[in-house]
Structure 1
Amino acid sequence: MTQTTPVRPVCDARSAPAPPPPRTQARPARGKLRAPPTHRALRSSPVDPLTEKQIRASFVNSTKGEAARLRLPLGFAELPWTDLDFLGWVDPGAPLRAHLVVPGADERPLGVSLRVPALGRTSAMKSSLCQVCLTAHASSGVSLFTAPLAGQRGRQGNTVGIYLCADLACPLYVRGRRQPQLRSGRQEESLTTEERVTRLRTNLDAFTAKVVDG
């Protein structure tokens, strides 16, 4: 049995830590995993509009066949690229899989495939924090996502886990373009929008580094 490695987010004094991800069971690899690129740092600007070909070629922890079979997000042609620090979506054709594509330091996109847990019972009276954008949601608004590591360790079934907004819309939450559903009022932060965006990118960079570096 292998252990999912939690990612420690950057947060301010008002943010409560998310619970550590549980262990995951190793799974046999399907096909040959693609070698990870040498870049992993995020740029300081939002995602440039990407083509379908760029997205499918970007994944570092899935096979070419898996990348070819994934379905792009609904409304792909109308995505608000200027508000996106990364492109994230749950696969419309495979709801237990999700995908992240982030801008790399050398201008090439870096894609990470994720596994989505099966839905269980949640309580709307509880709140959970996303470990990337630190948005508070009702418990159903945050999910544990796990990513196979790139390279040999990924082929051995090792993964890294992180709690994320279930709809992967972190960039929209930090900019106020989308509001989380909560029974109680939303707690306001003292950080500016720019500071929240920087924190999001720092936390996401830490997660993608875990995937790429294994």
Structure 2
Amino acid sequence: MRELTAEQIRASFVNASNAEIERMTLPGLHETVWSDREFLGWRDPAGSARGYIVHWVDDRPVGIMVRAASSPLRPGIGAMCSLCHTPQPSTQVVMFSAPRGGEAGRDGNSIGTYICTDLACSIMIRILPATSELNLHRDELIARRAAGLQQRVTAFTANILKTA
């Protein structure tokens, strides 16, 4: 992922009001290893249900605000993030909803999907099992997982931006 500035991040959001963007606390950008990210994802450090995802679409950053569901999945079952496709305990995956962009979002229309609770999918795809079913080199396997993650994040964002 290409590096982003605070100004680029704040200007990128397609489904948040100006007031929500002003209240948004940004992550430590100087600590971000951009080359190990397919998107920048973080939760509101104030403990609210808000989360944020920013990624590049062509030559512009696109940001979406998401909100975690108040009721978690049942403990003790398995779950899978729809973005990174990593199977995890249910306590580490949550339903996030995102208002659609534009008038549809202002009318209350939203999209929901299960995502890693901490929005750290870029880290999750780099944690590999001891042996790979595909018998691929580590770098090739991570590259495949990264490509899939980028494709699914782009599709999720495109779905939020749909007007019909």
Change (3 A) 1:127 1:77: same
Displacement of 1:186 in angstroms is 8.3
Please state if 1:108 is matched with 2:57: no
Change (3 A) 1:187 1:69: farther
Q: Is the 8 A contact 1:143 1:166 kept in 2?
A: yes
| Identity percentage of aligned residues | 37
Higher share in strand:
2
Structure 1, residues 120-150: CA drift from partner, whole Å, max 9, x if none?
Answer: 4742x31100001100110001011000000
Q: Is the 8 A contact 2:77 2:89 kept in 1?
A: yes
Greater relative contact order structure (CA < 8 Å, 6+ sep): 1
The residue type paired with residue 14 of structure 2 is V
Name the counterpart of 1:90. Answer: 43
Q: Is the 8 A contact 2:72 2:94 kept in 1?
A: no
Name the counterpart of 1:17. Answer: none
1:44-83 mapped onto 2 (5 Å cutoff) = 46=1, 48-73=2-27, 75-83=28-36
TM-score normalised by length of structure 2? 0.88
Please state if 1:132 is matched with 2:86: no
In structure 2, how many angstroms separate the alpha carbons of the residues matched to 1:112 and 1:175?
23
In structure 1, how many angstroms separate the alpha carbons of the residues matched to 2:153 and 2:24?
22
The residue type paired with residue 141 of structure 1 is Q
RMSD, aligned CA: 2.0
Change (3 A) 1:121 1:108: closer
Unaligned segments of structure 1, at least 5 residues: 1-45, 180-184
Higher share in helix:
2
**Partner SS state of residue 54, structure 1:** helix
Q: How many residues align?
A: 158
Unaligned segments of structure 2, at least 5 residues: none
1:1-40 mapped onto 2 (5 Å cutoff) = none
